[in-house]
Structure 1
């Protein structure tokens, strides 16, 4: 074939060259909307958006987000219902461990992002994508969580992060989208809101500094309830299975039902201050009525039905588990080992917990369980016992302190020489 024929063939095939196929984790918010326009218009990619619902969207909202994705220019859009899987693989173990980051934060977004990353990676693999994209900035934890999961599950697939790479501010993203004719609620984009089954995070100008509180209008759930209300939470082997004697097929339904009761009290609102994976401090507001009530109720039940050393080792493992999950290390096999311990520890964590709800606060009233180790059959703390005598305690006390007693006697003798 002569050069002219070769050139003619190249011209003929140039227009049919296949575009690079990119899977984009999509929420319909400002960042991922920018990603669609930038990747399709500026980069010329074929974008396939996927939204992973971890409990933060209604069916109507998901339909609106799908329409928004196609309006922006995606080739295909997929909705993954991951709510039950999210609970079964992550949230369940956060409850078993009573995990609160820095004794404050129920790891709402931390856990959610990992579930989303796992499903986005699976979707990219199924589509045999050339690249996978997410809308994380270069300042937070999410970029590390997404990147690590992708490196582990789809190695070799390019990771594309327009917001991070271009170092864009939210104002710059809004300007770009307006120039491209995109219509969306840009006023709402002033606050970054991430809603899921295990709580909602809220970020805004007030959380960028070390002092400041979010205004009432920034909270997604407004306070509309007053007075006092009592709820009864039924746990079976550590899992919430009923609320006020209303039983549910799956704990996710019980969580959502409790949220519908407690959310309007403004319970679970706080601002978390923590250390990011990349070494800087950060503040974020969150509301998590159901998660906070469940964690405290579950912990109260455990204190009644587990032994001292079960509780001790659970606390130590839970601290590591929560921190390691927060830093995106859900795929580390040590996490499966700790989960196995958590699962084993829950065999007797069955019973009812009574909680009093009030505006902006709640109180655990008590528990009822057939496995209660505080049973008065064996005595009453500070009053009487039926399992031993005072003479038994007298001898036990001498034996229990024997080695420490010897230490001090030796120390005293040596100091006297």
Structure 2
């Protein structure tokens, strides 16, 4: 046993500067064996080069896994059944990826007999909370090593000096100009922080955006899509059956081509500070609009309204890292039960940054044209019934007004 009490640690490893330094730092400071875990969750970059980098640092157990389908099927799609938005805007692209990574860190720790897990999240952000709450929920006695809360490498210059001193290969030393933004990407979104974005008054530079054209540069002709739903999930686009990950990849491409999914946001982090970030979420933007449309004809009114009331709590649980909590699981059971009859087809028009619903149909539809019509309804609805309905609902208002309490 090493002096630190840690013989082996599983590191969430991207292959970038920070986690490459962490891998070496763990070896030097904890005198332990390091196992690396690299997840492909649709970030759009090759993950295999992480293997060579890990080998160069003497890492013997290297896990590189394609988790795109699991991520889409078991995390993103369940979240979208709830029409989830944090603080009314954010589609939780970063938040929803963390519980899956935490789960695999714990599983690999169990498989390899590791004593600890480690991550590259900073002490200022939400991700440290998400990773660690997930890990503790799944492996209560696990030790978590968070280097950013321990070391003194608190600047880019110190990190670069450490990399040079320890002969750590850093890609951008060879590539020249580095992006000024801190970026995180997966199948659901790409996020941007830092640089000029730290000034909430500064408009993002156009060349920052990577997944979408600007709405002004989008095609002059709209794109139409038909999304087929089964139990609240998209199962086909334009009649073509697709897996969850395929759905998201396709919608990211067609949505981005039409300038859809850009967001400039100041959010409230769980740790207490406000943070300005920009996001591109083309697939998520389309999915949210379409899901609400299919629910509009298949869900009972009170069920739909109850879901809307509970959604902010559900969103906060995901944002704050409580995916594995009993309360999130309980909410998920209710949400999933509501989706049993959310089946049908939604037709959308994508045009210059906008998503419009132009049609919806379902064999489960609660929309009754015979009742809703402005034409002769042939006795399907007795309009005289509305008088008693209104008077009963006005009773408390009339009593208050009679007592002189209707104003102020």
Fold shared per TM-score above 0.5: yes
Q: Name the structure 2 match of 1:391.
A: 384
Say yes or no: does 1:150 pair with 2:135: yes
Q: Name the structure 2 match of 1:55.
A: 42
Measure how far apart 1:24 and its partner are: 0.3
Measure how far apart 1:263 and its partner are: 1.9
User: Relative to structure 1, is the Cα distance of residues 405 and 140 closer, same or farther in structure 2, using a 3 angstrom cutoff?
Assistant: same
Say yes or no: does 1:180 pair with 2:170: no
Matches within 5 A, 1:208-357: 208-223=198-213, 225-227=218-220, 228-248=222-242, 250-357=243-350
Say yes or no: does 1:360 pair with 2:347: no
Whether the aligned pair in 2 keeps the contact of 1:52 and 1:116 (CA below 8 Å) is yes
Aligned-residue Cα RMSD (Å) equals 2.5
Residue deviations 1:237-266 (CA, integer Å, cap 9, x gap): 110111111112x22221212222222333
Measure how far apart 1:34 and its partner are: 1.6
Pick the aligned partner of 1:35 from 22, 35, 52. 22
Residue deviations 1:189-235 (CA, integer Å, cap 9, x gap): 63222111221112231222322233233223252752221111111
Q: Which SS does the other structure have where 2:202 is aligned? A: coil
Matches within 5 A, 1:59-98: 61-98=46-83
Q: Name the structure 2 match of 1:22.
A: 9
Whether the aligned pair in 2 keeps the contact of 1:234 and 1:243 (CA below 8 Å) is yes
User: Relative to structure 1, is the Cα distance of residues 42 and 189 closer, same or farther in structure 2, using a 3 angstrom cutoff?
Assistant: farther
Bigger drift between 135-144 and 271-280 goes to 271-280
Partners of 1:125 and 1:206 in 2: CA distance: 42
Unaligned segments of structure 1, at least 5 residues: 1-12
Q: Which SS does the other structure have where 1:144 is aligned? A: helix
User: Relative to structure 1, is the Cα distance of residues 215 and 180 closer, same or farther in structure 2, using a 3 angstrom cutoff?
Assistant: farther
Measure how far apart 1:80 and its partner are: 2.7
Unaligned segments of structure 2, at least 5 residues: none
Partners of 1:142 and 1:164 in 2: CA distance: 13
Say yes or no: does 1:108 pair with 2:93: yes
Q: Which SS does the other structure have where 2:150 is aligned? A: helix
Partners of 2:96 and 2:325 in 1: CA distance: 15
Say yes or no: does 1:200 pair with 2:190: yes
Q: Could you say which structure has the higher helix fraction?
A: 1
User: Relative to structure 1, is the Cα distance of residues 375 and 138 closer, same or farther in structure 2, using a 3 angstrom cutoff?
Assistant: same
TM-score by length of 2: 0.89
Measure how far apart 1:46 and its partner are: 1.5
User: Relative to structure 1, is the Cα distance of residues 413 and 287 closer, same or farther in structure 2, using a 3 angstrom cutoff?
Assistant: closer
Whether the aligned pair in 2 keeps the contact of 1:356 and 1:362 (CA below 8 Å) is yes
Measure how far apart 1:62 and its partner are: 2.2
Bigger drift between 74-83 and 323-332 goes to 74-83
Larger Rg belongs to? 1
User: Relative to structure 1, is the Cα distance of residues 403 and 42 closer, same or farther in structure 2, using a 3 angstrom cutoff?
Assistant: closer
Q: Name the structure 2 match of 1:133.
A: 118
TM-score by length of 1: 0.87
Task: List structure 1 runs of 4+ shifted beyond 4 angstroms.
Answer: 382-386
Q: Give the count of matched residue pairs.
A: 395
Partners of 2:84 and 2:166 in 1: CA distance: 44
Partners of 1:387 and 1:45 in 2: CA distance: 76
Residue deviations 1:54-107 (CA, integer Å, cap 9, x gap): 22246xx12222222222432221023322332333222211110011121110
Whether the aligned pair in 2 keeps the contact of 1:56 and 1:197 (CA below 8 Å) is yes
Measure how far apart 1:292 and its partner are: 0.8
Q: Which SS does the other structure have where 2:171 is aligned? A: coil
Partners of 1:114 and 1:196 in 2: CA distance: 13
